[in-house]
Copies of this chain bind each other. A is one copy, B any other.
């Protein structure tokens, strides 16, 4: 179960509120690389973890709980950036002190057009669980596979795209308070990338591959598990670490296969009379 402290994990300040930056920050809340995603992903991985030990479950709970505080920081940052956002399209309602208005030609209308409209119309100038184009987050992005090694790669993927996003936000930002908040979040993403890679190392890199390692590898097709398939018409292909030499897991040797059909043309045959097909399909 859970507790809260109403203070923030890290300071969130905005000197010059900018509705356009509020829109960008929404990607870090409700984007597929955002904080709701990692928070819920780590929780569901923890809650469903089956193993002889509760060690990984425990660790996941620590970080999942940390991530709630990140959503909170970002939601606060969005609200602060919307502080002086325009609420009207009327000419006389010219915005005062809004970065957007200044940069976008001076009109409130210009500023409002750069916003996610739901931030105003649905939320009254507050954050929402949507991405930077206003698309709501969908929980199908919570990857918790029941395989701890697969989950760790999902987590590294999430934190890699997450830190990439945070860096893009840092590069786009002009407010010192926002840059400071982001320089903290980028650091946490570094740690989280490292943390999941550390678990992979603990699980034994080669020993853990291919995932899942509980499937007897002799049951997979031995002719097609370490060869790069070339699908170009002329048979050309780029050489690399993946076309020759020992495989990464040390269990095979990379080779190259010029792809061709190993099966026949499939023929499903005539449709059944009761299946709603055209008479011609029934034959």
A9–B229 CA distance with the chains assembled, in angstroms: 11
Q: Which residue on chain B has the smallest CB distance to residue A124?
A: B146
Cβ A277 vs Cβ B148 within 8 A? yes
Of the candidates B11, B31, B109, B170, the one whose C-beta lies within 8 Å of that of A263 is B11
Encode A199-212 as 1/0 by CB contact (under 8 A) with B: 10111000011111
Chain B residues contacting A265 (CB-CB under 8 Å) are: 6-8, 54
Which among A20, A109, A241, A276 has the greatest number of chain B C-beta atoms within 10 A?
A: A276
Please name 17 further chain A to chain B contacts, defined as beta carbons within 8 Å, in addition to the given A8-B261, A153-B156, sorted by A numbering. Answer: A1-B9, A4-B231, A6-B61, A20-B109, A32-B122, A43-B71, A43-B75, A44-B75, A50-B277, A90-B174, A121-B132, A148-B281, A157-B157, A160-B211, A163-B215, A186-B220, A194-B226
Residues 171-197 (chain A) with a chain B CB within 8 angstroms: 171-174, 183-184, 186-191, 193-195, 197
Give the distance to chain B from A128, nearest Cβ to Cβ, in Å.
7
A130–B141 CA distance with the chains assembled, in angstroms: 11
A144–B252 CA distance with the chains assembled, in angstroms: 29
Residues 234-283 (chain A) with a chain B CB within 8 angstroms: 234, 237-238, 240-242, 247-249, 252, 254, 259-283
Give the distance to chain B from A44, nearest Cβ to Cβ, in Å.
6
A129–B45 CA distance with the chains assembled, in angstroms: 11
A-B contact pairs, 6 of them (CB 8 A): A9-B259, A103-B107, A110-B113, A113-B113, A134-B135, A194-B226
Chain B residues contacting A214 (CB-CB under 8 Å) are: 167, 273, 276-279, 281-282
Q: Would you call A48 an interface residue if the criterion is a C-beta within 8 Å of the partner chain's C-beta atoms?
A: yes
Chain B residues contacting A199 (CB-CB under 8 Å) are: 240-242
Give the distance to chain B from A267, nearest Cβ to Cβ, in Å.
6
Cβ A210 vs Cβ B190 within 8 A? yes
Cβ A139 vs Cβ B142 within 8 A? no
